[in-house]
């Protein structure tokens, strides 16, 4: 009998496959080694394959699609309710097979190699930025033990690391001085690597049409636009701009009951990196609005007058996410007059 649906539980070496026939009977639930994966699916007739969206899911999705199968990725949090009892590879594969057939299930688009390559740049840059932040805090804490204070901000810690005060150095014990000098040198090296990584992202951004379109939106630069395109592609998997904003985690939590609508804080359930980039981009727009009110739209001015700065920044990021969806799906640059 023809196998119609397969739940595939991904792993590094041992994969679990759960197959179901057209009449609902279980055809198999067995493990496969990595080398057996592609030959096994090459022998099967085209069917629906469900997988959880994890680090290697996009690679296997592309490979299985090339064999003619229909592959769908699902967020792991949406698959978990279908696990009956306990946790094992066999139970997980069965739950994936059940979840992929649900009509209300939400799916994740399979990324291309080019999208994953762009994302690798952003992931590497994000790691370097975190390391630089850790070093900055460490240097501030160590010199603070000796009564030396450094003002908050990257420019001040960078200036301290580059042009260290001789009087401060002489007042420190030799052991502490050597340690701080070593950390300062490491901070400067990281700073150079981050700049090089940012320049590489900007260079790639100049060659992509969709990234250029996104940069027509106020508050969206080459790094933001590159991360958006690398993560969501053409955005056609979202039905509306609100769906994209909800996926990023910028829409409020709905706790309505008994006919009473109660909206809380933003969900923060989506992509943390994109949410962070959008909020930071809108923070720059807030500074522009305060310094040059004539350069921003009336809606931005009005919400800054009504709401606290942080709340207004998140609201602006929410609106920008909806504009991003419109720009990508229509394949047209942002038109501020039409949008207002």
Per-block average pLDDT, block size 10, for the chain (340 residues)?
A: 91 94 92 95 95 93 96 94 90 95 92 92 94 95 88 90 69 85 93 95 91 93 94 91 92 79 79 92 90 87 90 93 95 73
Topology of the domain covering 3-99: Nucleotidyltransferase; domain 5 (3.30.420)
Q: What is the 3-state secondary structure (H, E, C) of 29-76?
A: EEEEEHHHHHHHHHHCCCCEEEEECCCCHHHHHHHHHHCCCEEEEECH
CB atoms within 10 A of CB 334: 18
- What's the token pair of residue 219? 């508050």
User: Could you identify the residue written with the tokens 């009998």?
Assistant: 1
User: Is the Cβ–Cβ distance between 3 and 50 less than 8 Å?
Assistant: no
Long-range contact set of residues 184-191: C-beta below 8 Å, sequence gap at least 24: 184/139, 184/160, 185/161, 186/135, 187/132, 187/135, 187/136, 187/139, 187/157, 187/158, 187/161, 188/158, 188/161, 188/162, 190/128, 190/131, 190/132, 190/135, 191/132, 191/158
pTM: 0.84
Cα(222)–Cα(213) distance, integer angstroms = 10
Question: What is the structure's pLDDT at 340?
Answer: 43
Cα(23)–Cα(2) distance, integer angstroms = 9
């Amino acid at each position: 009998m023809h196998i119609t649906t397969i739940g595939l539980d991904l792993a590094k070496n041992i994969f679990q496959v759960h197959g179901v026939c057209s009449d609902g009977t279980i055809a198999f639930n067995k493990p496969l080694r990595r080398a057996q994966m592609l030959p096994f699916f090459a022998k099967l007739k085209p069917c629906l394959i469900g997988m959880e969206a994890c680090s290697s899911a996009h690679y296997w999705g592309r490979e299985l699609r090339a064999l003619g199968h229909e592959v769908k990725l699902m967020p792991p949090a949406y698959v978990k309710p279908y696990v009956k009892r306990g946790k094992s590879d066999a139970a997980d594969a069965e739950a994936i097979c059940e979840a992929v057939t649900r009509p209300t299930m939400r799916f994740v688009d399979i990324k291309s190699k080019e999208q994953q390559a762009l994302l690798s740049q952003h992931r590497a840059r994000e790691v370097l930025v975190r390391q630089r932040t850790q070093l900055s805090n460490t240097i501030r804490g160590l010199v603070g033990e000796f009564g030396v204070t450094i003002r908050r901000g990257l420019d001040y810690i960078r200036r301290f690391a580059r042009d260290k005060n001789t009087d401060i150095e002489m007042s420190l014990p030799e052991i502490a001085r050597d340690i701080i000098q070593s950390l300062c040198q490491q901070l400067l090296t990281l700073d150079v690597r981050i700049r090089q990584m940012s320049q590489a992202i900007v260079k790639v951004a100049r060659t992509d049409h969709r990234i250029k379109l996104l940069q027509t939106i106020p508050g969206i630069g080459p790094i933001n636009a590159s991360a958006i395109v690398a993560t969501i592609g053409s955005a056609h998997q979202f039905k509306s701009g609100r769906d994209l904003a909800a996926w990023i985690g910028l829409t409020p939590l709905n706790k309505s009951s008994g006919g009473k609508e109660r909206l809380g804080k933003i969900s923060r359930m989506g992509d943390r990196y994109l949410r962070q980039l959008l909020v930071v981009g809108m923070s720059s727009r807030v500074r522009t609005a305060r310094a040059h009110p004539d350069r921003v739209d009336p809606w931005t001015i009005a919400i800054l007058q009504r709401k606290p700065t942080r709340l207004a920044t998140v609201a602006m990021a929410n609106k920008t996410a909806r504009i991003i969806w419109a720009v990508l799906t229509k394949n047209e640059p942002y038109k501020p007059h039409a949008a207002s």
